[in-house]
Amino acid sequence: MTYLTPFTFNNGVTLRNRYVMAPMTTYSANADDTVSDEEIAYYKERSYGVGAVVTACTYVIANGKGFPGQIAAHTDAYIPSLSKIASAIHEGGSKAILQIYHGGRQAVRELVPNGDVVSASDTVAADGGSARALTIDEIHDIIQAFGETTRRAIEAGFDGVEIHGANTYLLQQFFSGFTNQRNDVYGGSVEKRMRFPLEVVAEVNRVKARYADKQFIVGYRFSPEEPEEQGITMDETIQLVDRLADAGLDYLHISLGDFRANARRYSGEKENRIQILHRVIRGRVPFIGVGSIYSKQDAQQAIETGAELLALGRELLIEPHWVEKIAAGEEVITEMDMTRDNVIPGPLMDMMKLRQGWVPGVK
């Protein structure tokens, strides 16, 4: 399999292979939002095979926290915690990439200051309550916070950051016509709705230029479509991806549950989402495909989509050393064996059990 050979980004950074560990929420930080020993062991265990590890998302500002047990990176006090994560990932030889985000209307009210949940517009929050529209000044503060968190990632020894613009969090809330009903410079047309994500990218790259060299990796993750009537369509995502491909990023990363999925809300042929977007990118930046890659056969089929890199998520929960075993020609299991220690933090395992069917074999 060619994806076991090294891959070099446009900025000159080389990964030992084309497999990446996808970001997955662990719910396992300490009570003060520093990284726990269980999380350190979890990342270290999975760092020996893949070319890079993308961490669970960390919030960039206090009102962006979206999960209990989430690692923080919104003040300099968390740099030592972040350093532990980067060091654990480096121990196995992988590049360490910190995923940075703001939960927006998905933030947990009890976990943000004054229960003040914010979004692109006045809308419904995840708990059924209300989320209020951010002011222009607050938008600028959040953009700056993405930059400051990038600086902390650099100081903590990470090899890069991934801007989380997917999974209905704040950046996606701004791009989506379903959640963005603004009538100012940050809302209305597709061009205006993509302004906030593009300004975040520009700020992260500005901070990178000041505090790191060109080999610091900056990626962007996005979700291609939304089901709501006013939600994101594939045609709109094509416009965003086309702009992102020229925005000075080092890679683009789609968020999908299954790499085989076809476009649904699209004016063109209802073909594979990754293949559509790979054509749009036209080799300007590497594209990471993802979604239900468990077996060697799955990986071979996913390669046919054209994505330059493949991300493994749930399969690395099941089989932490998947890449090493595939490289050695060994069999890999594709359903969780609950009798063995897979080095998974307790809160993450508990969440997996609650979400029956998310990870095959979990009971």
Q: What is the dihedral of CA 36, 320, 157, 209, to 10 degrees?
A: -120
> Any idea what DSSP says for residue 53?
E
Structure-token match 């600028």, residue found:
140
- Using the structure block, give the residue that is written with the tokens 């080092």: 250
How many residues belong to the chain?
363
Alpha carbons 56 and 22: distance in angstroms, whole number:
8
The residues annotated with a catalytic role in the active site are 169
24: tokens are: 């997955």
